[in-house]
Structure 1
Amino acid sequence: MPRTHSQLPLSAPLAAERSGAAGLFRSVVAGAVALALTGCAVGPDYRPPKTVTPDEWHQLPQTGVRVESADAPLLAAWWTTLNDPQLNEFIERALADNKTVKQAYARVVQARAQRAVAGAGFWPNIGSSTSASRTKSQSSFNERGEAVSMVGENYSGGLSASWELDLFGGQRRSYEAAAAQLAAREADLRDVLVVLLGDVALSYVGVRTAQSRLDFAERNLEAQREALDITRWRATAGLTTVLDVESANTNYQQTRSQIPLLESSLVQNMNRLSVLTGQTPGALEASLQQRKPIPVAPVDVVAGVPADVLRRRPDIRSAERQLAAQTAQVGVATAALYPSLSLNGSISWQALKASDLLDGNRLERNGLTLSLPIFNGGALRQNINVQNALLDQALASYESVVLAAYEEVENALNAWTSEQRRHESLLEAVGSARRAAELALVQYNSGLVDFQTVLTADRQLISLEDSLAVSDGEMTSNLIRLYKALGGGWSVFPAATTGS
């Protein structure tokens, strides 16, 4: 069976009268401590990765985007630019009660405790023990033949201490890894906040978009119902045919069939918003029942240069800290190849009476324990290979997160500017479609066109008005996605998570 370590104990009791041996031991201890304090930490030292960063955004529009400092207040609290008090209220409620935020904060608390555990390895372990025993035995008989019992008591107490010296930096690397993991968990909490703020705003805009689409659909449905009634009256008077009546009814029922889908979308967004704010589905239905317009996106957007994204986005920060933690783990694995040295000592007292314990027999013991890895089937070196492979994975993950962040910002910039152009065209198209529908109805009543012309104009108007409502929501939603991609809101912390 392979042995993993060779224990070479150097401990021996030192009596007070053996001052020469005691002096030698103190010299050895002092030298070992000095070596531990000045010893090097094996393994690679962490250096931040060199990341290729573009000088400017590829899709940066000519107007509408202001390149400002990464700490611009407008970017830190971007949702306030939508000027919607109810959205601000939902944001505050989500920060206070969202369950994902609470989970992320609990992970920070856990990582903070794990760092403290790693830091405890620098200090000695000190313990104490006490014991008391009483024995009773029948050893003989007296002259009268009565049994004579002997009672004995024994009391002992002591202190013990041990301290593993960090000769080759294994403990230091463990602490570095724990500290980096804590920073990663804090960055994860910030990332949860960025995602949460964006999701709350997107769900709120989804509610208002569904309501806007319902307004258009219900208004068009009422107009089509009136047109159907007129067509039926004209058919009864012999002014038109049953074909026109059936066509009008088809148009009416088609619009009517869209309303349940829009109502379902409205309920889903309400439920999503309820859950994001830490409430049960349906809890916000009453407060959102009153229909309000879609929040209007501002004309200008605050954005920094690509290098700002590296500093601002918490998911990039988390990946970088994970890389630092894994670098330290390589040092931990490397330190296992080297000897370890521990100081240990104890002092104990023994007495036959509890009151005499401190004045009883005293025994002191001090020593060194040296552990040498001799043979373990190559497990220690293979573990270094494992940690180096994990380091390569962490580096690739960091680079992937950086590229994905740049891609997300570029796509968000493009979507925001493209939707602006689309929205302008839809506004003009809806205006023309409304005039065309009105003109078609007038000409039909005058007998100049057939009913199919009216139906075609109505269908175009309904489709364009619905597209415009969707575009209104997309304009604001794309702005939200852009601020989310830029890392806006990462510095916002709810009161429940600001403890140290």
Structure 2
Amino acid sequence: MRLISICLSAALLAGCSDADLPFRAPEIDLPDRYARMAPVRTPTREDVEWWRSFGDPVLDQLITHGLNGNLSLAQAQARIAEAAAAARRDGVPASGTATGDYRATSGGSNSFDTGLSAQFNLAGETRHRARAARDRLEAARFNEVEARRAVLSEVGQAYVDLRFFQSSRQLRQRDLASRRRTLEDIRTQLAAGEATRLDLLRAQSLLAETRAAIPQVEASIVQTRNRLSTLLGTPVGALSLDLGYKGAQPIPDRVADIGVPADLLRARPDIRRAERLYAAALSDVSAAEAARYPSLRLSGLISAPFGGGGTTESFLAGLVVPVFEQPALAASVDIAESQVQQAYLQWRVAVLQAVEEVENAQILLSSALAARDAAREQVELDRKSLALSRDLVVSGGGITVLDVLDRERALSASRNALAQTTRDVGRAYVALHVALGQGHPLLAQAPVSGNETAMKNTDLDEG
């Protein structure tokens, strides 16, 4: 009875301890809206599968293959299995052993002795460690979502780059044909005495400059294709998809507006992972505190004789009090509390970086759309200017061959600028959706994205 009283008193003392720290979601002050804000709504399937806005079946296939074959994503999935096993291990309610011994005596009295022992922490150390392991399992799952987000970003932007380089090659080939035509015109005029040897040298130099640029662009195409192969988990050269240029760069048919910053807390997997790690750190503090309290130790011995006779049993219950370990255990609590602070600060860093990424991607997309419209207008003006210059040269309208060469250079530069701004729009569109945390079915459970506006509207709503 005295032993039972001691055990009950120890259990009551442990129950009154402050080892069990309740979890409260971390908080941070955020503005009610972004600098460029739109109303919030529940995301649709189009929001989650945002890459389909490009209307490009090749990109759709690349994304599918990337999500199935990317090795970084496979590593993240393996880490989920590791965390699940750790959760099962840390959920075992007690530590203990079982032993078996064969005992023989000179008198022929042989028996088999079975010893059992188990130890239970009265303050719930195992429960806290199991909770921490479950939180880390959830963090591992969000880490897999974060790896998926990285795949979407890298595959999407690499594809936009590939089509840009292919477009650049096509433009330079068009420039090459145009400059060959100009060179032939100058040779004809030179024979007629209407052009100079200097005009001929300039035209030849411009042609050589164009030819020199093409191999560099082709090298960029090969490098980007190789990058896509690696992202898809495929050896270079073994990619089965047709990445031949179809004559157009990918451009989304709509632009996603954004919601309020607090939506990032629900949508961004890196933020949700940081929150789970913060919760796990709190449970680690509770477990470290609980380790300082007594444990209930149960042990027993069962002896079964082989030659007959009754089985004997003996059991013992007692308290294990970590008296001499208290300084080390107190240090463990301090370490755990420091790790809580680190986890909280890491969560704050993740939130602030997320808001920054959204803001930056939004302004980049807005500026890229405006630049693309201006570049398109400039291409049309330079095209008309070149055509008019050619006509004036033929009709003797006071235009020199040098003017034609200048117009060719201007048209080439404006076409390249249009290709570049189209690339910028595509990359910024990808970056915005990735920054918003979109691209996973779990996001359909929380409103994370704003309204859509037509692509023709180059300025996003500034609220």
Which TM-score tier does this pair reach, normalised by the shorter chain?
A: 0.7 to 0.9
Question: Relative to structure 1, is the Cα distance of residues 455 and 180 closer, same or farther in structure 2, using a 3 angstrom cutoff?
Answer: same
The aligned counterpart of 1:269 is 224
Distance (whole Å) between structure 2 residues aligned to residue 318 and residue 92 of structure 1: 24
Deviation at 1:284, TM superposition (A): 2.8
DSSP-derived class of the 1:164 partner = strand
Select which of 354, 362, 368 maps to 1:405. Answer: 354
1:106 pairs with 2:56: no
Over residues 121-143 of structure 1, what are the superposed CA-to-partner deviations in whole Å (9 max), with x where a residue is unaligned? x146463535487x9xxxxxxxx
Partner of 1:364: 313
1:211–1:291 Cα contact (<8 Å) kept: no
TM (norm. structure 2) is: 0.87
**Is 1:52 matched with 2:29?**
yes
Q: Which amino acid aligns with 1:67?
A: V
Larger radius of gyration: 1
| One-letter amino acid of the structure 2 residue matched with residue 170 of structure 1 | E
Specify which of 205, 214, 220 is matched with residue 259 of structure 1: 214
1:127 aligns with 2:98: yes
* Counterpart residue identity of residue 367, structure 2: S
CA drift of 1:347 comes to 1.4
Instruction: Please report how far the alpha carbon of residue 368 of structure 1 lies from its aligned counterpart in structure 2 after TM superposition.
Output: 2.9
- Distance verdict in 2 for CA 1:155–1:413, change over 3 Å: farther
Q: Take 2:9 and 2:325, find their aligned partners in 1: how far apart are those partners?
A: 26
Question: For residue 17 of structure 1, what is the aligned residue in structure 2?
Answer: none
Does residue 88 of the first structure (1) align with residue 60 of the second (2)? yes
Q: Are the aligned partners of 1:314 and 1:490 in contact in 2 as well (CA < 8 Å)?
A: no
The one-letter code matched in structure 1 to 2:54 is: L
Aligned partner of residue 365 in structure 1, secondary structure: strand
CA distance in structure 2 between the aligned counterparts of 1:41 and 1:366, rounded to whole angstroms: 32
Supply the distance in 1 between the matched residues of 2:274 and 2:161 (Cα, whole angstroms): 32
Q: 1:427, CA displacement in angstroms?
A: 0.7
Q: Tell me which amino acid in the other structure corresponds to 1:76.
A: V
**Among candidates 384, 391, 399, match of residue 435 of structure 1:** 384
Distance 1:236 1:337, change over 3 A: same
For residue 273 of structure 2, what is the aligned residue in structure 1?
Answer: 318
Name the Cα RMSD after superposition.
2.7
Q: Is the 8 A contact 1:75 1:302 kept in 2?
A: no
Aligned residue type for 1:80 = R
1:36 and 1:367, CA in 2 relative to 1: closer, same or farther beyond 3 A? farther
Q: Judging changes above 3 Å, is the alpha-carbon distance between structure 1 residues 285 and 118 closer, same or farther for their aligned structure 2 residues?
A: closer
* Structure 2 residue aligned with 1:201: 156
How much has 1:282 moved relative to structure 2? 2.4
Q: 1:95 aligns to what SS in structure 2?
A: helix
- Are 1:483 and 2:430 counterparts? no
After TM superposition, give the deviation of residue 339 of structure 1 in Å. 2.6
Which residue, out of 333, 342, 353, partners 2:288?
A: 333
- Give the letter aligned to residue 328 of structure 2: A
TM-score when scaled to structure 1?
A: 0.81
Q: For 1:316 and 1:256, locate their aligned partners in 2 and report how far apart those are by CA, in whole Å.
A: 49
- In structure 1, the partner of 2:457 is none
Mapping 1:13-412, distance limit 5 Å: 27=4, 31=8, 35=12, 40=17, 42=19, 44-60=21-37, 67-69=40-42, 71-120=43-92, 122-123=93-94, 125=96, 127-129=98-100, 131=102, 156-284=111-239, 287-301=242-256, 303-351=258-306, 356=307, 359-360=308-309, 362-375=311-324, 378-412=327-361
| Range that drifts further, 359-368 or 102-111 | 359-368
Q: For residues 260 and 182 of structure 2, what CA distance do their matches in structure 1 show?
A: 56
Tell me how far 1:34 sits from its aligned partner: 6.5
Q: Report if aligned partners of 1:66, 1:300 keep a CA contact under 8 Å in 2.
A: no
Q: Distance in 1 between the 2:241 and 2:187 partners? A: 40
What SS class does the counterpart of residue 287 from structure 1 fall into? Answer: coil
Q: CA deviation at 1:153?
A: 7.1
Kept in 1, the 8 Å contact 2:101–2:114? The answer is no
Query: Helix, strand or coil: the match of 2:364?
Result: helix
Asked whether the 8 Å contact 2:11–2:122 carries over to 1, the reply is: no
Task: Tell me the distance in 1 between the aligned counterparts of 2:131 and 2:164.
Answer: 49
Q: Tell me how far apart the structure 1 counterparts of residues 297 and 9 of structure 2 sit (CA, whole Å).
A: 9
Unmatched runs of 5 consecutive residues or more in structure 1: 1-22, 136-150, 494-500
How far did residue 76 of structure 1 move? 1.2
Could you tell me how far apart the structure 2 residues matched to 1:153 and 1:250 are? 111
Contact residue 316 and residue 402 of structure 1 kept, 8 A = yes
Q: Could you report, residue by residue, the CA deviation over 1:58-111 in whole angstroms, capped at 9, with x for unpaired residues?
A: 123xxxx66322x43222111122221221112111122111111001101100
Distance in 2 (CA, whole Å) between partners of 1:50 and 1:286 is: 46
* Cα shift readout 1:395-418 (whole Å, capped 9, x = no counterpart): 111101100000111111111111
Moved more, 408-417 or 201-210: 201-210
Structure 1, 277-286 or 29-38: larger mean CA deviation:
29-38
Cα 1:125–1:114, aligned 2, differ >3 Å: closer, same or farther?
same
SS at match of 2:335: helix
Question: In structure 2, do the counterparts of structure 1 residues 169 and 40 end up closer, same or farther at CA, with 3 Å as the change threshold?
Answer: farther
Matched residue SS, 1:306: coil
CA distance in 1, matches of 2:28, 2:284: 22
Deviates more, 1:190-199 or 1:164-173: 164-173
Q: CA deviation at 1:311?
A: 0.4
Q: Who is 1:13 aligned against?
A: none
CA distance in structure 2 between the partners assigned to 1:33 and 1:119 by the alignment = 23
Whether 1:463 and 2:413 are equivalent positions in the alignment is yes
Q: Identity rate of aligned residues, in percent?
A: 31
- Asked if the contact 2:55/2:252 (under 8 Å) is kept, the reply is no
Whether the 8 Å CA contact 1:40–1:167 is kept in 2: the answer is no
Distance of aligned partners of 1:376 and 1:342 in 2 relative to their CA distance in 1, 3 Å threshold: closer
Instruction: Quote the offset at 1:276 in angstroms.
Output: 1.4
For structure 2, the 5+ residue unaligned runs are: 444-463
* Alignment check: 8 A CA contact 1:430 1:465 kept: yes
CA apart distance, 1:445: 3.1
Q: CA deviation at 1:302?
A: 5.0
**Once the two structures are superposed, what CA deviation does each residue of 1:423-480 show, in whole Å capped at 9, x if it has no partner?**
1111111100111111222223334222221121111111110110111122122111
Amino acid in structure 1 at the alignment position of 2:388? L
Give the Cα separation in 2 of the matches to 1:485 and 1:305: 13
Deviation at 1:265, TM superposition (A): 1.6
User: Secondary structure of the residue that 1:349 maps to in structure 2?
Assistant: strand
